A and B are shown apart, each in its own frame.
Chain A
Amino acid sequence: MASPLAQFEIRTIAPLEIGGVDVSFTNSSLFMVIAIAAVTAFLVLGVRRRAVVPGRWQSMAELCYEFIASLVRDNVGHAGRPYFPFIFTLFMFILFCNSIGLIPYSFTVTSHIAVTFALAAVIFIGVTVLGIVLHGAKFLSYFMPPGVPLYMAPLLVPIEVVSYLARPVTLALRLFANMMAGHTMLKVFAGFVVALGIAGIFPLAVLIALYALEVIVALLQAYVFTILTCLYLHDALHLH
């Protein structure tokens, strides 16, 4: 029987090397393309009819839009409107990557720290650069919360800086660990089902419950990644 971790193996589909760097088209790339195609099809075909009173599909597409629009409006404010396309793309990409990974025999793109850390690093660098460009040297006032007495500053400011630098790490690690651990647990229990024969009905019941949990976790982790990105953006734009 295969190891529970074998599902995370990267397999090359079309080898490609540019300047000594391996940029092959792998199963990870394939599922990213599938996720983007699914998102595009879902949204573009959903609003194709452009009815004033939306049908079911158009309602779902508009629901996604409104959900993220209200998220950005509530957590970033009016100044966050230029960043809405990025936040929307981020949410739909993570959501569909997480969900497509739940299909048996498929691959979860976000279960690799390389993918989630790339997303988190881009967001962290983008938000920090934005804060520095918008506020200049005053950006450093973010690490000294208002109303704190001056003698506390040598203790508080390093703590604030470290917790700020920990943001891309925790952001990436949260999504990665949820996806990897969840899917590993599914495979481990599936192994029990096969190994126990007729008594495998009990791990099967647990497996069904775990699967429902994994569906919830897939949706929730996409939401949490997005709302934290909005909160970090709010911090950079408004410095508090």
Chain B
Amino acid sequence: MSVEAAKLLGAGLAVIGLAGVGVGIGQVFSAFITAVARNPAARPAVFPYTMLGFALVEAVALYALLIAFLILFG
């Protein structure tokens, strides 16, 4: 197998991890929507933590994407 083909396969495999991130982000916002639906007055209190949680989960996506880019272009 050529190095180029192996790189493409490696990058493709690396982004499989993004499935977990999709589930994670969905869970964060699901919890936020449930909380606000139960208690709309809590929205300004909960929103900063929702954004923090989203960014932390998104960071894992970016780690996987970084590995994919490093495999593909490194």
A interface residue numbers (CB < 8 A to B): 5, 170, 173-174, 177-178, 180-181, 184, 220-221, 223-224, 227
With a CB–CB cut-off of 8 A, which chain B residues contact A227? Answer: 48, 52
Which B residues, 15 to 58, have Cβ-Cβ distances below 8 Å to chain A?
A: 48, 51-52, 54-56, 58
| Docked-complex contact B69 and A181, CB < 8 angstroms | yes
With a CB–CB cut-off of 8 A, which chain A residues contact B59? Answer: 170, 173-174, 177-178
| Docked-complex contact B66 and A180, CB < 8 angstroms | yes
Which B-chain residue is minimally distant from A227 (CB atoms)?
B52
With a CB–CB cut-off of 8 A, which chain B residues contact A221? Answer: 55
Which B-chain residue is minimally distant from A223 (CB atoms)?
B51
Which B-chain residue is minimally distant from A174 (CB atoms)?
B59
Cα-based distance from A86 to B48 in the complex (angstroms): 21
Say how far B50's CB is from chain A's closest CB, in angstroms.
Answer: 11
Number of chain B residues close to chain A: CB under 8 A: 14
With a CB–CB cut-off of 8 A, which chain B residues contact A178? Answer: 58-59, 62
With a CB–CB cut-off of 8 A, which chain A residues contact B54? Answer: 220
Say how far A229's CB is from chain B's closest CB, in angstroms.
Answer: 12
CB within 8 A of A5: which of B52, B63, B73? B73
Say how far A198's CB is from chain B's closest CB, in angstroms.
Answer: 29
Majority DSSP secondary structure for residues of B touching A:
helix
List 30 A-B pairs, Cβ < 8 Å: A5-B73, A170-B59, A173-B59, A173-B66, A174-B55, A174-B56, A174-B59, A177-B59, A177-B62, A177-B63, A177-B65, A177-B66, A178-B59, A178-B62, A180-B66, A180-B69, A181-B62, A181-B69, A184-B69, A220-B51, A220-B54, A220-B55, A221-B55, A223-B52, A223-B55, A224-B51, A224-B52, A224-B55, A224-B56, A227-B52
Cα-based distance from A221 to B59 in the complex (angstroms): 10
Known: A174-B59, A224-B55. A181 touches B65 (CB 8 A): yes
Which B-chain residue is minimally distant from A74 (CB atoms)?
B48
Cα-based distance from A92 to B63 in the complex (angstroms): 25
Cα-based distance from A50 to B4 in the complex (angstroms): 62
With a CB–CB cut-off of 8 A, which chain A residues contact B52? Answer: 223-224, 227
Say how far B70's CB is from chain A's closest CB, in angstroms.
Answer: 11
Cα-based distance from A97 to B66 in the complex (angstroms): 21
With a CB–CB cut-off of 8 A, which chain B residues contact A184? Answer: 69
